[in-house]
C-alpha cells in the first residue's frame, strides 16, 4: 500500500517523486525553446490568468465564501468527460463544475444546504444530474418484445455524475462524523492551525496539504507506477492557490493565508499535453508513451506554435478536443513530467535572465504559480492550441 509522505515533506515529495518517475520513464525536458520563443515572451505578462476564478456571487461571510471555494476545489475534476459534457451542455468540465457548485449554493436554503456536511452526505444522482442539466436515462430496445423500449440509467455522463456524488457523500460523511458543519469550517481551522507551526518557508503550505490529504480520500491524488511512488495532489494545491488569490490581498486577511507563489503546479491533462506539443516534454524515448502524440514537438509543428499569437482571435473552437485515451499509469507519468518540467522551466528562466543581455528583465521573477496560470490561459486563448487535443482518462476524481 502506498504511504503518505512524511510530515513536513509533502512539497518535497511532490517534486522528488515527479522527477524520479519522469526520469525512470525516459522523458526529457527542454525548457529553452519555449522560454526564448515569441509565444512565451509576447504573452506571459499579459495573459488572462485569473479566468475562471472569479465568483459572481454574494456571500454573507468570508467563511461562506471559503466553503464554496473548498467544494469547488474538491470537485475540480472531470477532464475525461469534457467532450460529452460539451455535446450535452455546451460547457467543458471546469465550467460544468463551476456551474454545479454555484447551483448548489444558490438553491440551498434553510430546509437544505447542499454545501453543508449533511447536505453533501445526502445528495444523490438525480439532484446532481438535474443541476448539471444532464439526462441520466437512456432508452434501448426490449430484449424480447419487438417495438418496446426500456428506459434505464446510463449514458456517457452517468459515470461523471456518480463520481461527483461519491466524492460529495464521502466528504460530507467525514465532516459530519468529525463535527464540522461544512468543508469551509475544516479548511478555516486548518489555516489557523498552520500559522502556529514551524516558521520555515512553506511550512504552512505543507501543513495544509497534509491535513487535507490525510483527512479526505478525494484529495489523495497519489499512486505507484512501475514501483515508483508519485504524489501529484492537484486539487489540494489548487485549493491553496485559490485561497491565496482570493484572500491574500485583503488587509488584514480573514484567515492566515499560505503563499502559493512557489508551490508545484497542479497538473491535470492539459498541462502535460500542451508542454508535449510545445516541445518542452519529450516522450520519444519512452517505450510506453512515445506513440501517444504523433508529430508533437516536431520542427514543423513547433514553428507555428512558438510564434506569436495572432492579434485577431475570433475562433470559437472549444477547448475540449479529442486526444489519446490513457490509462492511469500513463496519465500519472505525464502529469509527473509536467510538474518537473515546470520546475525546470522556472529555474531556466532565472538562469537565462542572469546570462542574457537582451532578454526581458521579468524572467528573473517568473514563479511557478504564474507559469501554471499562463499555461492554463494560453491553452484556452490560442485557437491553434485549443485544436491540439489533450489526453483523457475517465473514472478518476483527481483531475
Please give the distance of CA 252 from its chain centroid, rounded to a whole number. Answer: 29
**pLDDT surpassing 60 at residue 314:** no
**pLDDT surpassing 90 at residue 110:** no
Q: What pLDDT, on the 0 to 100 scale, is given for residue 181?
A: 97
Q: What pLDDT, on the 0 to 100 scale, is given for residue 49?
A: 59
C-alpha cell at 303: 514553428
Which of 398, 327, 4 shows the shortest CA–CA distance to 166?
398
The radius of gyration of the chain from alpha carbons, rounded to an integer in Å, stands at: 22
Q: What pLDDT, on the 0 to 100 scale, is given for residue 316?
A: 58
**pLDDT surpassing 90 at residue 149:** no
Is the CB of residue 246 less than 8 Å from the CB of residue 53?
Answer: yes
Helix (H/G/I), strand (E/B), else coil: 61: coil
Lowest mean pLDDT among 82-86, 89-93, 175-179, 353-357: 353-357
Which of 379, 309, 344 shows the shortest CA–CA distance to 35?
344
**For 204-230, what is the mean pLDDT?**
97
Q: Could you please report the per-residue DSSP string of 341-369? A: HHHHHHHHHHHHHHH-TTS-GGGGG--HH
Lowest mean pLDDT among 89-103, 258-272, 310-324: 310-324
Q: What pLDDT, on the 0 to 100 scale, is given for residue 132?
A: 95
Task: Encode 279-346 in three state secondary structure.
Answer: CCEECCCCCCCCCCCCCCCCHHHHHHHHCCCCCCCCCCCCCCCEEEECCHHHHHHHHHHHHHHHHHHH
Higher pLDDT, 46 or 381: 381
Mean pLDDT for the chain overall: 91
**Cα-based distances in Å from 291 to 269, 282, 356:** 17, 11, 36
Task: Compute the C-alpha angle 179/167/274, nearest 5°.
Answer: 130
**Cα-based distances in Å from 397 to 101, 196, 229, 320:** 16, 32, 19, 18
Which of 255, 175, 178 shows the shortest CA–CA distance to 218?
175
Backbone angles phi, psi at 59, to 5 degrees: -115, 145
Which of 298, 277, 303 shows the shortest CA–CA distance to 389?
277
Is the CB of residue 180 less than 8 Å from the CB of residue 63?
Answer: no
232-262 pLDDT, tens digit each: 999 999 999 999 999 998 999 999 999 999 8
C-alpha cell at 156: 456517457
Percent of the chain scoring above 90 in pLDDT: 71
**For 159-163, what is the mean pLDDT?**
97
264-295 pLDDT, tens digit each: 999 999 999 999 999 999 999 998 899 999 98
Residue 279 region by backbone torsions, left for phi larger than 0, else alpha for psi between -120 and 50, else beta: left
325 bridge partner residues? 392
Instruction: Give residues with Cβ within 8 angstroms of 92, minimum separation 6.
Output: 82, 85, 86, 318, 319, 320
Instruction: Give residues with Cβ within 8 angstroms of 130, minimum separation 6.
Output: none
H-assigned helices in 7-154: 10-24, 32-35, 38-41, 62-74, 82-89, 93-106, 117-122, 125-132
**pLDDT surpassing 60 at residue 356:** no
**pLDDT surpassing 90 at residue 53:** no
**For 149-156, what is the mean pLDDT?**
72
Lowest mean pLDDT among 110-114, 122-126, 220-224, 364-368: 110-114
Pairing mode of beta strands 390-392, 322-325: parallel
Amino acid at each position: 500500500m502506498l504511504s503518505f509522505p512524511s510530515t513536513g515533506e509533502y512539497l518535497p515529495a511532490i517534486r522528488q517523486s515527479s522527477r524520479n518517475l519522469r526520469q525512470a520513464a525516459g522523458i526529457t525536458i527542454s525548457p529553452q525553446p519555449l522560454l526564448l520563443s515569441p509565444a512565451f515572451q509576447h504573452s506571459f505578462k499579459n495573459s488572462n490568468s485569473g479566468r475562471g476564478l472569479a465568483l459572481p456571487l454574494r456571500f454573507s461571510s468570508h467563511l461562506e465564501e471559503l466553503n464554496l471555494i473548498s467544494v469547488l476545489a474538491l470537485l475540480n475534476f472531470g477532464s475525461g468527460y469534457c467532450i460529452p459534457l460539451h455535446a450535452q451542455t455546451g460547457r467543458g468540465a471546469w465550467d460544468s463544475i463551476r456551474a454545479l457548485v454555484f447551483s448548489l449554493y444558490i438553491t440551498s436554503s434553510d430546509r437544505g444546504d447542499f454545501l453543508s456536511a449533511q447536505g453533501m452526505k445526502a445528495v444523490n444522482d438525480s439532484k446532481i444530474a438535474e443541476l448539471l442539466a444532464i439526462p441520466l436515462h437512456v432508452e434501448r430496445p426490449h430484449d424480447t418484445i419487438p417495438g418496446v423500449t426500456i428506459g434505464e440509467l446510463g449514458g456517457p455522463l452517468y459515470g461523471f455524475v456518480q463520481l461527483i456524488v461519491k466524492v460529495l457523500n464521502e466528504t460530507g460523511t467525514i465532516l459530519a462524523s468529525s463535527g464540522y458543519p461544512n468543508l469551509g469550517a475544516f479548511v478555516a481551522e486548518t489555516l489557523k492551525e498552520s500559522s502556529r507551526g514551524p516558521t520555515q518557508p512553506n511550512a504552512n503550505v505543507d501543513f495544509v496539504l497534509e491535513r487535507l490529504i490525510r483527512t479526505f480520500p478525494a484529495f489523495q491524488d497519489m499512486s505507484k507506477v512501475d514501483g515508483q511512488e508519485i504524489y501529484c495532489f492537484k486539487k489540494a494545491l489548487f485549493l491553496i492557490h485559490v485561497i491565496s488569490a482570493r484572500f491574500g490581498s485583503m488587509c488584514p486577511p480573514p484567515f492566515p493565508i499560505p503563499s502559493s507563489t512557489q508551490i508545484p503546479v497542479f497538473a491535470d491533462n492539459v498541462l502535460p499535453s500542451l508542454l508535449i506539443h510545445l516541445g518542452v516534454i519529450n516522450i520519444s524515448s519512452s517505450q510506453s508513451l512515445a506513440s501517444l502524440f504523433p508529430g508533437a514537438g516536431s520542427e514543423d509543428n513547433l514553428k507555428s506554435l512558438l510564434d506569436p499569437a495572432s492579434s485577431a482571435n475570433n475562433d470559437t473552437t472549444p477547448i475540449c478536443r479529442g486526444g489519446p485515451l490513457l490509462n492511469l499509469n500513463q496519465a500519472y507519468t505525464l502529469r509527473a513530467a509536467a510538474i518537473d518540467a515546470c520546475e525546470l522551466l522556472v529555474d531556466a528562466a532565472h538562469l537565462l535572465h542572469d546570462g542574457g543581455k537582451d532578454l526581458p528583465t521579468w524572467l528573473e521573477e517568473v514563479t511557478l504559480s504564474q507559469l501554471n496560470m499562463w499555461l492554463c490561459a494560453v491553452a484556452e486563448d490560442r485557437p491553434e492550441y485549443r485544436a491540439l487535443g489533450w489526453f483523457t482518462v475517465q473514472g478518476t476524481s483527481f483531475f
